[in-house]
Structure 1
């Protein structure tokens, strides 16, 4: 089972991971735009977007951990 980690992952986990990666990518792009245009508000907002992406990634890890634990008990 552990050899096929991504293949055995649920759709919920995959959605959470891709959503987290998307938010982090958007946050990085906003950081670059905010800093190159000297827009302090946009640069600070981008940090919250990156933080939300990181929190979503942690939630995905918890979901996956619970799924693996449940499948190992069977």
Structure 2
């Protein structure tokens, strides 16, 4: 079932997962650049991006759970 889920996953789940991964990645890169260059403002600005990525990750888990429950009821 795990291999089948990605192939049959709703588009909303895929978009949410990739958005979450992208925001977390951008946030981590900005944080690293900000901390290595001593730019504290950039490092602090990256934290909301990481937080939003984590929230989207949780939303993706909810969407996946609803999709699985819907498929099991059939």
Instruction: State if a TM-score over 0.5 links the two structures.
Output: yes
For 2:53 and 2:4, locate their aligned partners in 1 and report how far apart those are by CA, in whole Å.
25
What's the RMSD between the two structures over aligned residues?
1.1
State TM-score, norm by structure 1.
Answer: 0.92
2:46 is the alignment partner of 1:46: yes
Counting matched residue pairs gives 74
Deviation digits for residues 23-71 of structure 1 (CA, Å, limit 9, x no counterpart): 0010011011101111111111111111110100100110110011011
- Matched with 1:16 is 16
For 2:59 and 2:51, locate their aligned partners in 1 and report how far apart those are by CA, in whole Å.
12
The 4+ residue runs of structure 1 with deviation greater than 2 A are none
| Mean Cα deviation higher: 16-25 or 39-48 | 39-48
For 2:2 and 2:33, locate their aligned partners in 1 and report how far apart those are by CA, in whole Å.
40
Greater share of helix: 2
State TM-score, norm by structure 2.
Answer: 0.92
Give the unaligned 5+ runs of structure 1. Answer: none
2:25 is the alignment partner of 1:25: yes
Give the unaligned 5+ runs of structure 2. Answer: none
